[in-house]
Amino acid sequence: MNTLNKLKKRLVRSLKDFFPNNFRKIEFASLILAYFLIRVVILNTPDEYKGVTAAAQSFITYFLAFRFGFIGLVFAFIFIAHELRIITGLYLTTHEAEYIVAVSVKMVTVISAILVAIIVTKQEQHQKELHKLSITDGLTGLYNQRYFHEILEQQFEEAKKTGGSLGLIMMDIDDFKLINDIYGHDFGDTILRGAGKLLNDLAKEGQFVCRCGGDEFTVVIPNADINTIEKIAEHFKSGINKLGPNYFPKEMQNKISLSMGLSEYPHLSSDKDELFTQADTALYHAKNLGKDKIHFYQDIMKQLRKGISTDHQQLIGAFKALLSTISAKDKYTLGHSERVSAYAVTIGEALGLSPKEICTLQYAGLLHDIGKIEIPKSILNKTGRLTDEEFALIHMHPIYGENILEPLNELDQLLLYVRHHHERFDGKGYPDGLNGKQISLGARILCVADSFDAMLSERPYSPRKTIEQAIDELKRCSGRQFDPQIVTAFLAVLESEAHKKMKALINW
C-alpha cells in the first residue's frame, strides 16, 4: 500500500512539473484535440490531399514531443499505433505499395519525435539541475537563503490573498561556535550536514526547510495557526533529541540541540518583513535563555495598550517604533526590556504594591532602556572595554529616556523610575548619584530586575551567568548596589516552588 501511495505521489508530482499552470493544460489538450481532428479529416480527404494533412499531423507529433517531452509523445503514439494497425490491415488486404510508404512515413515520424523528446528532456533536466543548484545550499542540500526569501514572499502573498496564515520558525545550533573552535570547521560542517538532513527528514510535506547561512535554519509553514506552529517546533525539538545520535558523530551524540524563535501571520505580524523580524527576535530571546529553548514572539505593546489611558494611546505606536529601532541596533534590548518588565511586576506583587503602582512598573520596565536609541550601535555592541567618553555616553541613556517619555509625565513616577534605574543603593550609581531611600521604590525594583536579567543574558561584552551565579551576585551586592529589602523579596519569589509564574519567566 505504501509503495502504491509513493508511486501515486510521484506521478502527481511529475504531472505538476509538466502542467504547472492552466495554460499548459489547455495547450496540451488543444494539441491532442487537433491531432484527433486531423485524423478524422484524413479519413474523409481525397487521396491527393492526404499528404498535406499527414504533414500537419506529423508537425503536431513533433510539437508534442518538443513541448511536453515523453508524456506528449506517449499520447501521440497511442494515435499513431492505432493508425499503423489500420494501415497494416489495408496493406494486407490490398497489397498496394502506397500503404508501405505510409507506414515508412509514420515510422520516420516516430523516430524523429523520439529524438526530439530525448533532446528536449535532456535540456529540461539540465535546466532543472541548474535551477536546483541555484536554490540549494551546497553543504546541507536544503533550500538556500536566496530561495528562502522567495518562498517566504510567495507563501505570504498566497496567505494574504486567501486570508490564510503563515508560520515561520528560525533556529540555530546551540554552542556551534564552540564546536567549531574545539573540533575544527570540517567537523562543524559534518554537524551542519547532519542537522540539515535531520530537519529535512522531520519536516512534513508542504513545509520548507532552508539554511540561511552559518548555523541558522528556517522552516516556512503555510496554513498554520499559532498552536500548530508550536506543535511543529516541539516535533523538531523532540525529533532532534531522540534521533540526533543517528545523524551526528559519536563525539556529539545527545549533545546537539537547537534554539528556536517562532512567529505567525496575521495574528502576530502584519507583513512579511515583520514576520521575519519577529521570528529573528524570538530566536535571539531563546538563545539568551540557554540551550534547547523554544520562544514565541510576544508583543508586550498589546499589553501596554490595554492599560494605558486613551490620551496616551497614540504614543504606543511611537514607542513601538522606537523599540524596534533599538532592536535593529542592539537585538538584546527589546527582549531584555520585556523580561525586566515581567520581573518588576512580579517583585511589585511580592511587595504588595497597589495595582496602579504595578501598572507603572510594567510600563517603566518595558521603556527603561528606550534612551539607548540615542547611543551609537558601535558602542552598544562593542565587545572590548569602553573608553571614558563611551562610558559617559552610556550613562546618559536614562536621561535620554526621561526626555523621550516626557509626554507620559502624567503617569505616576514613570519618568523617575526610568531616570533612576541605574542608581545604586550605596550612592555610586548614575546619573544623579542618589542613595538609599532617595531613590524611588520603582527605580530600586527596576535596578534588581534589570541587573538579574542582564546577568542571565548573553551580551557582546559579557558571557551569561547561570541562575545560581546570578542569585549569588544579588546576595553579594545586597546593601551596596541593591536595596536589601527588594533582594530578599525577589529571592523569596525565586526560591518559592509554588511561584510558577516566575519559574516560567526564567525558563523563557
- The DSSP annotation for 196-253 comes to HHHHHHHPPTT-EEEE-STTEEEEEEET--HHHHHHHHHHHHHHHHHHGGGTS-GGGT
Higher pLDDT pick, 309 / 84: 84
Provide mean pLDDT across the span 363-392.
Answer: 84
For position 303, what pLDDT does the model report?
56
pLDDT of residue 8: 61
Boundary (domain end) residue, out of 297, 328, 347? 297
Q: pLDDT tier at 20 (50, 70, 90 boundaries)?
A: low
Same structural domain, 280 and 322: no
Q: Is the confidence at residue 503, as pLDDT, over 50?
A: no
Q: Which of 244, 279, 297 is the last residue of a domain?
A: 297
> Do 281 and 324 belong to one domain?
no
The residue type of 487 is V
CA distances from 400 to 49, 350, 390, 418, 428 (A): 92, 30, 15, 10, 20
In angstroms, the CA 305 to CA 313 distance is 7
- Residues 195 and 225 grouped into a single domain: yes
Residue labelled with grid coordinates 496602579: 356
pLDDT at 265: 94
- CA distances to 16, 17, 23, 158 from 12, rounded to whole Å, are 6, 9, 18, 22
Calculate mean pLDDT across residues 271-294: 81
Specify the 3-state DSSP secondary structure of 21: coil
Contact 302, 420 (CB under 8 A): no
What mean pLDDT is reported for the chain?
82
pLDDT tens string 143-197: 999 999 999 999 999 999 999 999 999 999 988 888 888 889 899 999 999 999 9
Q: How many CA atoms lie within 13 A of 83 on its CB side?
A: 26
* For residue 500, pLDDT beyond 50: no
Residue 321 has pLDDT above 80, yes or no: no
How many residues can be counted in the chain? Answer: 508
Enclosing H/E stretch for 180: helix 176-183
Total domains present in the chain? 3
pLDDT band at 502 (very low <50, low <70, confident <90, very high): very low
Highest average pLDDT, of 56-65, 206-215, 295-304, comes from 206-215
pLDDT for the residue numbered 270: 86
Note whether 278 and 318 are same-domain residues.
no
Listed in sequence order, the residues at least 6 apart from 98 whose beta carbon sits closer than 8 Å to its beta carbon are none
User: What pLDDT band is residue 398 in, cutting at 50, 70 and 90?
Assistant: very high
**Model confidence pLDDT, tens digit, residues 400-431:** 888 888 877 666 688 999 999 999 999 999 99
Residue 449 banded pLDDT, cuts 50, 70, 90: very high
Asked whether residue 293 falls in the same domain as residue 304, the answer is: no
- 132 or 250, which is more confident? 250
| Residue 249: domain span | 137-297
Kindly state whether residues 32 and 146 are assigned to the same domain: no
Which of 297, 318, 337 is the last residue in one of the domains? Answer: 297
Stated pTM of the model: 0.56
Average pLDDT over residues 347-359: 91
Say how far apart CA 226 and CA 358 lie, in whole Å.
29
With 60 as the cut, is the pLDDT of residue 309 above it? Answer: no
CATH code of the domain containing 417: 1.10.3210.10
Residue 209 in contact with residue 143, Cβ under 8 Å?
Answer: yes
**Judgement on whether residues 20 and 116 belong to the same structural domain of the protein:** yes
Residues 230, 319 within the same domain? no
Burial class (CB in 10 A: 0-12, 13-18, 19+), 130: exposed
Do 30 and 153 belong together in one domain? no
46, pLDDT greater than 60: yes
CATH code of the domain covering residue 153: 3.30.70.270
CA 302 from centroid of its chain's CA atoms: 22
CB 232: neighbour CB atoms within 10 A? 21
Of all residues in the chain, what percent carry a pLDDT higher than 90? 34
Q: Are residues 237 and 360 in the same domain?
A: no
Return the minimum-mean-pLDDT range out of 307-316, 342-351, 369-378. Answer: 307-316
User: 355 and 222 in one domain?
Assistant: no
**pLDDT score for 322:** 65
Is the confidence at residue 17, as pLDDT, over 60?
A: yes
| Same-domain status, 49 and 151 | no
